[in-house]
């Protein structure tokens, strides 16, 4: 687990993501929206992936208005998309850009905060599908275009409840434990082989809809905003993190 003041206070150089092609899932809201806009401000061409097209279009407009590189929109619902859909996406990215330099798996769902003893199997499957299986399948399909990059960074999103088990976090917690394991496994498989690095980020408590859903009584103004936690994302997406592989990084100081 990497948690250094250097990463949370990382200040990228101007346009440090110029010429980079970066796909962000859940780019329409919350942390994904902030990372998509932040990456575009740093010069990246961002593929905005998510399930609510109106939100993705809003992010698209914000990037264009700010003078950023024109993004692409990839509508996808991670509950229903299949490996074939991700294979098709890989072909599209190859045709349009010839490579993929960054892949941020950010989209996730909370499910229900309830005891596992009472947890519905249907909801369990949905949470594991969105938070784990879809991310595995998408990464597997996109490996072809990631390997065409000189240095590609794949980032999964973890959580504190994916490291230490806590009551009532249900399938969400289990999916995040699995994400940590997948990162370690996959990172050790690609280590030293080529140009792809695979890491995780734990955003920490951040002012978003998901956080409000999990902690309805909390004052959101006490929390960091998605923009506050951008440095860790910009660090991992850019070339300053070449050689960092298999780490689980804190986006906030504890």
Which residues contact ligand NAP by CB under 6 A?
26, 28-32, 50-52, 55, 76-79, 106-109, 130, 157, 159, 203, 205-206, 208-211
Give the residue closest to ligand NAP by C-beta.
30
Residue carrying structure tokens 């929390």: 223
Angstrom distance (rounded) from CA 203 to CA 222 = 15
Given the residues 10, 86, 172, 233, select the one marked as catalytic: 172
Least distance (Å) between residue 82 CB and ligand NAP: 13
Q: Quick one: CA dihedral 141, 12, 222, 55, positive or negative?
A: negative
CB 185 within 8 A of CB 207: no
- Is 172 annotated as catalytic? yes
Nearer to ligand NAP, 149 or 175 (CB): 175
Least distance (Å) between residue 77 CB and ligand NAP: 5
Gap between the terminal Cα atoms of the chain:
13
Nearer to ligand NAP, 164 or 193 (CB): 164
* Backbone phi, psi, residue 12, to 5°: -70, 155
CB 100 within 8 A of CB 133: no
Least distance (Å) between residue 15 CB and ligand NAP: 25
Nearer to ligand NAP, 137 or 206 (CB): 206
Nearer to ligand NAP, 241 or 248 (CB): 248
Bridge pairing between strands 152-157 and 196-202: parallel
Least distance (Å) between residue 3 CB and ligand NAP: 14
- Residues that are catalytic: 172
């Amino acid at each position: 687990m990497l948690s250094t003041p250097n990463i949370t206070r990382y200040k990228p150089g101007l346009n440090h993501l110029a010429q980079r092609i970066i796909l962000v899932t859940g780019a329409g809201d919350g942390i994904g929206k902030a990372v998509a806009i932040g990456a575009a401000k740093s010069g990246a061409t961002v593929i905005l992936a998510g399930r609510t097209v109106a939100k993705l279009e809003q992010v698209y407009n914000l990037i264009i208005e700010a003078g950023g590189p024109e993004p692409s929109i990839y509508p996808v619902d991670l509950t229903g998309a299949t490996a074939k859909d991700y294979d098709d996406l890989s072909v599209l990215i190859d045709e349009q850009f010839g490579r993929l330099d960054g892949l941020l798996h950010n989209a996730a769902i909370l499910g229900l905060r309830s005891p596992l003893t009472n947890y519905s199997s249907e909801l369990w499957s949905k949470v594991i599908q969105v938070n784990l299986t879809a991310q595995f399948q998408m990464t597997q399909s996109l490996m072809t275009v990631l390997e065409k990059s000189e240095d590609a960074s794949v980032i999964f999103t973890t959580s504190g409840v994916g490291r230490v088990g806590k009551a009532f976090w249900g399938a969400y917690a289990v999916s995040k434990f699995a994400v940590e394991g997948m990162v370690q496994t996959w990172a050790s498989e690609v280590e030293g082989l080529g140009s792809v690095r695979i890491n995780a980020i734990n955003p920490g408590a951040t002012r978003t809809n998901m956080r409000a859903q999990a902690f309805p009584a909390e004052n959101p103004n006490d929390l960091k905003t998605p923009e506050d936690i951008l440095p860790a994302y910009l660090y991992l997406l850019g070339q300053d993190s070449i050689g960092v592989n298999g780490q689980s990084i804190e986006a906030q100081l504890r």
